[in-house]
Chain A
Amino acid sequence: MGAQDLNFLSLASLLVFLIPIIYFNTRLKLVINKTLITSIIRMCVQLGFVGVYLEFLFKLNSPLLNSVYLLIMISIACQSIIRSCNLKFKLFFVPLFFSLLIPFVVILFFFNAVVVRIDNLFEAKYLIPIGGMLLGNSLRSIIIGLSNFYAGIQKDEKVYLYSVSLFNNRMQALKPYFLQSFSAAIAPIIASMATIGLVSLPGMMTGQILGGSIPAVAIKYQIAIMFSIFYIEYFSTMLAVIFSLKVGFNELDVLNQDIFVANE
């Protein structure tokens, strides 16, 4: 049993609700119509492509190809995080790539090997959608963590440097900025775990139920996914800050001002 297929016409029927939205935006002089339409077109085109190449990946089910696909996903996630944090791509890409890759690989393979217990750990059907879901969810926390950390020190540079002189230890001086940004980064997932099921029914569960799974199975998967998302957010945010220190600060512990992309 699977979800009923949607034909293109019925999918397109959802555009009907865009008409009043565009009308209201125009009347209210809310200048978002162009961005809105661009985003909708991008969403449809990107998902259309995903549909095509996922079918291709599922059909081939090649461990090498699946792994390359995951690495590309991580690279795109890094690019998106760095852009959102207003940091320089060429400086932060490598540290960020490894801070995502390490927890991602450990948790993803643990999920597949120990939790789901599939024989082929590179099975496209599990590796790609679950990998994508874990990665997509961890973006938010790394963005919050990394941007709060560097923006906090930049704003508070005199206090940070004074702490370096008093503590004579960079890690001690960095500690309050790390704690503040790290708690802000993981607060949303902790809040989300506390309200899941009451306020929201998560996408994975909905998808599984529509795909024919019984709610009990869908819920078990959802719990496993929530654990995994939390672990990846926790470790990747922590590693993102730690791995980026080498590029973020000069050898005398002073914040490198050229890590930030200048605001236009």
Chain B
Amino acid sequence: MNNIPEPVNNHAPKSQTMIKFESVCLSLQGKEILTNFDLTILKNEKVLIQGKSGIGKTTLFKLLLGFGTIDKGKVIFNGCKISKAHITGIREQIFYLSQDIDLRDGIINNLINEILKANSISYKNDKLNELLTFLDLNIGILEQNVKDLSGGERQRVGLLICFLLDRPVWLFDEPTSALDDVMKKKIVDFILDQEKTIIIISHDSVWKKNRNIKIERWE
């Protein structure tokens, strides 16, 4: 992948801590979601988080993106606390693929162009065609409306945006749930082969087959 945006500290060693949750406590509507939660993820580490629904896995992603506030503790991203001063720089480094791929409606091509323009990223058509072929997407899909996509197409369009944005940290929430087995394997191998920090929430066993991944099992 080309044009990888550099993290804040680009001279840091490979073992540098990229993400750190330190004694985090969080309650939502009276329910304790996280209690003294600790988690450290190193640069370029690949972590699979598994556990039953409703125990706060997606909340981790939301906290990293600044979409939720914690009651106690610290959330540190690349040495920076999630705060007003750092949030733009932090979001600039994270690509988040939400479970429902909550893209706003519109023609996909226009949406992709708007997103890339807002991020000051230019791409060559060759790269786009290469990614479309890799994701088994027809070029005609770019002229479709987001709302007309099937679940599998939506996931692949989300991944297409992820690969085009090429941010250094990827947060994936059930990224392969609507894909067939062949596509799943191809995408998992590709993703885990990248020099990126990647956290995946997935119930798919296909992720576990790869040796590059660290598994965090939540009870």
A interface with B by C-beta (< 8 Å): 156, 158-159, 161-169, 172, 176, 251-254
Contact = CB atoms under 8 A, between A and B. Distances in A.
Interface stretch (B10-18, B86-94, B193-201, B207-215): B86-94
Contact of A168 (B68, B91, B103): B91
B119 A168 contact: yes
Contact of A251 (B62, B67, B84, B106): B84
Contacts of A159: 102-104
Contacts of B69: 252
B100 interface: yes
B47 interface: no
A158 B98 contact: yes
B58 to A, nearest CB: 11
Interface in B76-116: 82, 84, 87-88, 91-92, 94-96, 98, 100-104, 106, 114-115
B118 interface: yes
A214 B87 CA distance: 63
A162 B103 contact: yes
A252 B119 contact: no
Interface in B60-78: 62, 65-69
Contact of A252 (B87, B96, B118): B87
A232 B33 CA distance: 48
B66 A163 contact: no
Given A162-B96, A165-B96, A252 B67 contact: yes
A166 B66 contact: no
Contacts of B94: 165
Given A251-B84, A254-B66, A254-B67, A165 B91 contact: yes
A172 B100 CA distance: 21
A251 B85 CA distance: 9
15 contacts: A159-B103, A161-B62, A161-B65, A162-B96, A162-B101, A164-B65, A164-B67, A165-B95, A165-B96, A167-B114, A167-B119, A168-B118, A251-B84, A253-B87, A254-B68
B41 interface: no
B40 to A, nearest CB: 23
A24 B185 CA distance: 71
B98 A166 contact: no
Nearest to A162: B102
A11 to B, nearest CB: 54
A169 B106 CA distance: 18
B192 interface: no
A159 B68 CA distance: 15
Contact of B114 (A156, A164, A172, A252): A172
Most B Cβ at <10 Å: residue of A159, A168, A254: A168
Most A Cβ at <10 Å: residue of B67, B69, B95: B67
Given A158-B98, A162-B103, A251-B84, A167 B115 contact: yes
Contact of A166 (B62, B67, B100, B161): B161
A163 B96 contact: no
Nearest to B115: A166
B23 to A, nearest CB: 21
B102 A158 contact: yes
A159 B114 CA distance: 15
A172 B118 contact: yes
Contact of B66 (A167, A169, A176, A253): A253
A109 B13 CA distance: 65
Given A161-B67, A161-B102, A253-B66, 17 more contacts: A156-B104, A162-B96, A162-B98, A162-B102, A162-B103, A163-B104, A164-B65, A165-B65, A166-B161, A166-B165, A167-B114, A167-B115, A168-B119, A252-B84, A252-B87, A254-B66, A254-B67
Contacts of B96: 162, 165
A4 B127 CA distance: 79
Contacts of B102: 158-159, 161-162
Interface in B107-160: 114-115, 118-119
Ranked 8 nearest A-B pairs via Cβ: A162-B102, A252-B66, A251-B84, A167-B118, A168-B91, A158-B102, A159-B102, A165-B96
Nearest to A175: B114
B82 to A, nearest CB: 8
